[in-house]
Structure 1
Amino acid sequence: MNIVQLEYLKEIYVCGSFSVAAERLGVTQPALSMQIQKLEEELEFKLIDRTKRPFQFTDEGKVFYEKSLEILKQIEALKQISVNISEEVRGNLKVGIIPTLAPYLVPLFIQQLAKDYPALQLEIYELKTEDIISEIKMGDIDCGVVSTPVSAINISVMPLFYERFYAYLSEDHALFKQDSIDINSIQQEDIWYLEEGNCFQNQVNSICQINAQKKNKQQLVYHSNSIESLRRIVEYKNGLTFIPELATINIPAEQEELIKEIVPDKPVREISLITAKRFAKERQVNALKEVIKSSIPARMLKQPDRGIMDTLL
């Protein structure tokens, strides 16, 4: 048994295909199959049932695969020893960030990170919360920046900052002339939504006490992960949507009057850095955490007394 075989097994599990796994690994499919066969011969049980279409991992194979992930994570930790011994924060850090946050957060800290840690390479992936958690557990990314709380086993959560929700509405909307918007005065059919399963949408539904049955009565539901798309629809098609606080920073001055405070509870989402309970790149993750917190407006670092929305995840 060797590390290469474990890495091959992981790629097969992730891809669900020998041919795709072989292509991603840069090896031939026969070579990949041979290594898995050798591993099965040594273990004296089948990892994969090839008689089924598509193939399936056997029960024994699933147990072995879960244990092999733990070993691969430890191997990565061993590789990190030389990096951690050095005083310089360097290496590669793969980070998943939810789509309703990434376009606004990354520009705030990326230049400072490059200045403070020039030897640290950052790879950023826009992913939904459940995908970030899954890829952290798989070891495919090192950490994530998500809205919390989340329900996930073996995941550590480090709160970073607290971001308020604001209403964003058309100049033609009946509530436009008000300085703030009472959430109880909003007609649910006026609201433009993000894609189903998005934690931001879940929080909006919670704020407005919206259920799927009422929402399905709308003439049009726009499926998107982009807050910017919803802003454009509101500007040109009337109605309203909700935007996070960081999304308000770069809104042109002539459109700032479209942003309205929500009352009475001033809802807030908690943004946190999440990792596996045991992870290798502690110094790199801590560097990222400190740079993000130093780049955020100070008012957003303090936890509010109430109003933190549940992600329902």
Structure 2
Amino acid sequence: MTITQLQYVLAVAEYQNFTLAAEKSFVTQPTLSMQVQKLEDELDILIFDRSKKPISITEVGKKIVAQAKNIVNEAERIKDIVDQEKGFIGGDFTLGIIPTIMPTLLPMFLKTFINKYPKVNLIIKEQSTENLIKNIQDGHLDAAIAATPLEVDFITERPLYYEPFVGYVPKDHRLRKLKELSPENLDVSDILLLQDGHCFREGVLNLCKTRKKIGEEHFRLQSGSFETLINLANEGLGMTLLPFLNTIELDASKKENLKYFREPSPAREVSIIYHKKELKIQITEAIRDTIASVVRGAIAFQDVKIISPLNK
């Protein structure tokens, strides 16, 4: 039994197809099939039922796959221990980021990080929170950046920063004359929201203390873009709420429409999250330190009290 054989078993279990598993493992299909067969012969059991399409895992195979994940992870941990002992920060690292954070955060820290840690091959993927959690569990992401808390048993959450909500209130809107906003001022019926599935949308709905169905009288909006929400607000179709970092690069004419909240300001907690088994922790810490140092200086309200129900 070898670590490589167990890695091949995990690939087949995930993709339920020997050809695809071989492709993802960067080996030929006969090589992968032979190694899996060799392991089954050694154990004198069948891990996979090849008579079904897609391939299914036998009952004993499920137990072997679960144990194989532990063994492969622990083998990776040995390499981590050596890297940490040598002070080496390098190698492949896959980082997931949710869509409402990616466009603003990435330009702020990426250049600084790659200049400081040139031996890290950083692979960045934009994914929903649900997919981030699944891919961390499956080992496809080393870490991720998301709005927290998530309260997932196998995930560690390390807060990076607290990002205040900012109102975008166009001319002629009922809240325009207010000097500062408060959650009590908000009416979900005239707030332009991101489409379902975005955690920022959920936070806004919770901030408004309502879960009622959202839908304007004359249109229903499904957009994943803050820019779209701003443009629609400028057309007199309502107001919207933006994360603070999304307001930094707005032009002067749009910044005139920003309304800040009375303290304590509602905010979202943004954290780096990773599996509690802490693989590649030295790279995770390097990313965390880089982001925290860059972003905290850009956010004026560093010590805001978190009252936003984005933090469930």
Using the size of structure 1 for normalisation, the TM-score is 0.87
Paired with 1:223 and 1:273, the residues of 2 have a C-alpha distance of: 28
Q: Please report how far the alpha carbon of residue 289 of structure 1 lies from its aligned counterpart in structure 2 after TM superposition.
A: 1.2
Are 2:277 and 1:278 aligned? yes
- The 3 A distance-change label for structure 1 pair 34 and 68 is same
Kindly state the Cα deviation for residue 30 of structure 1 after the two structures are TM-superposed: 4.1
Match for residue 120 of structure 2?
120
Structure 1 residue 81 displacement after superposition: 4.1
Q: Which residue of 1 is the match for residue 2 of structure 2? A: 2
Residue 156 of structure 1 aligns with an amino acid whose one-letter code is T
- How far 1:156 sits from its partner (Å)? 1.4
Q: In the TM superposition, what is the alpha-carbon distance from 1:217 to its structure 2 partner?
A: 6.6
How do 1:78-227 and structure 2 match up within 5 A? 78-211=78-211, 213-215=212-214, 219-227=218-226
Deviation at 1:209, TM superposition (A): 2.4
Deviation at 1:300, TM superposition (A): 6.2
Pair 1:13 & 2:49 matched = no
Alignment CA distance shift 1:17-1:174 (3 Å) = farther
C-alpha deviations, 1:228-247, integer Å up to 9, x for none? 33333333462222211111
Could you tell which deviates more after superposition, 296-305 or 159-168?
Answer: 296-305
In 2, the alpha carbon distance for the partners of 1:43 and 1:223 equals 53
**266-275 vs 297-306, which moves further:** 297-306
Give the deviation of 1:9 after TM superposition. 2.3
Distance (whole Å) between structure 1 residues aligned to residue 216 and residue 232 of structure 2: 19
Report the Cα distance in structure 1 between the residues aligned to 2:161 and 2:219, rounded to whole angstroms: 34
Q: Distance in 1 between matches of 2:16 and 2:63?
A: 17
Aligned-residue offset at 1:288: 1.2
Give, in whole Å, the separation in 2 of the partners of 1:43 and 1:127: 39
2:60 equivalent to 1:60: yes
Q: How much has 1:88 moved relative to structure 2?
A: 4.6
CA contact (8 A) 1:200 1:311 kept: no
Q: Match of 2:200, as an amino acid?
A: F
Give the secondary structure class of the aligned counterpart of 2:256. Answer: helix
CA contact (8 A) 2:164 2:301 kept: no
Q: 1:182 to 1:85 in 2, by over 3 A?
A: closer
| TM-aligned CA deviation for residue 55 of structure 1 | 3.0
How many pairs align? 311
The residue aligned with 1:294 is 293
Q: Give the distance between the partners of 1:29 and 1:218, measured in 2 at CA.
A: 56
Task: Tell whether the 8 Å contact from 1:167 to 1:240 is kept in structure 2 after alignment.
Answer: yes
- Aligned-pair distance for 1:294? 0.9
- Return 5+ residue gaps in structure 1 as ranges: none
Name the SS of the counterpart of 2:95 in structure 1: strand
Offset of residue 106 of structure 1: 1.5
Instruction: Give the distance between the partners of 1:195 and 1:114, measured in 2 at CA.
Output: 33
Evaluate the alpha carbon distance shift between residue 183 and residue 87 of structure 1 in structure 2; reply closer, same or farther with a 3 A threshold. closer
Q: Which amino acid aligns with 1:37?
A: Q
Alignment of 1:230-269 (within 5 A): 230-236=229-235, 238-262=237-261, 266-269=265-268
Change in 2 beyond 3 A, CA 1:187/1:89: same
Q: In 1, Cα distance between the equivalents of 2:302 and 2:232?
A: 33
Kindly indicate whether the alpha-carbon contact (under 8 Å) linking 2:203 and 2:308 is maintained by their aligned counterparts in 1: no
Q: Aligned equivalents of 2:57 and 2:122: distance in 1?
A: 34
Per-residue deviation, residues 33-66 of structure 1 (Å, max 9, x unmatched): 3333332233333322333333332332222222
Distance 1:223 1:19 in 2: 38
- The alignment partner of 2:72 has SS state of helix
Name the % identity: 32
More displaced stretch, 152-161 vs 85-94: 85-94
TM-score norm. by structure 2 comes to: 0.87
AA aligned opposite 2:223: S
In the alignment, residue 274 of structure 2 is paired with which amino acid?
Answer: T
Q: Is the 8 A contact 2:166 2:243 kept in 1?
A: yes
Question: Aligned partners of 2:228, 2:257: CA distance in 1, in Å?
Answer: 15
What's the offset of the Cα at 1:303?
4.8
Amino acid of the structure 2 residue aligned with 1:284: I
Q: 1:221 to 1:39 in 2, by over 3 A?
A: farther
User: What is the distance in 2 between the residues matched to 1:184 and 1:5?
Assistant: 59
Which structure 2 residues correspond to residues 64-79 of structure 1 after superposition, within 5 A? 64-79=64-79
User: How far off its partner does 1:203 sit?
Assistant: 0.9
Distance 1:218 1:6 in 2: 57
Alpha carbons 1:170, 1:238 under 8 Å: kept:
no
Shift in Å, 1:16: 3.7
CA RMSD of aligned residues (A): 2.6
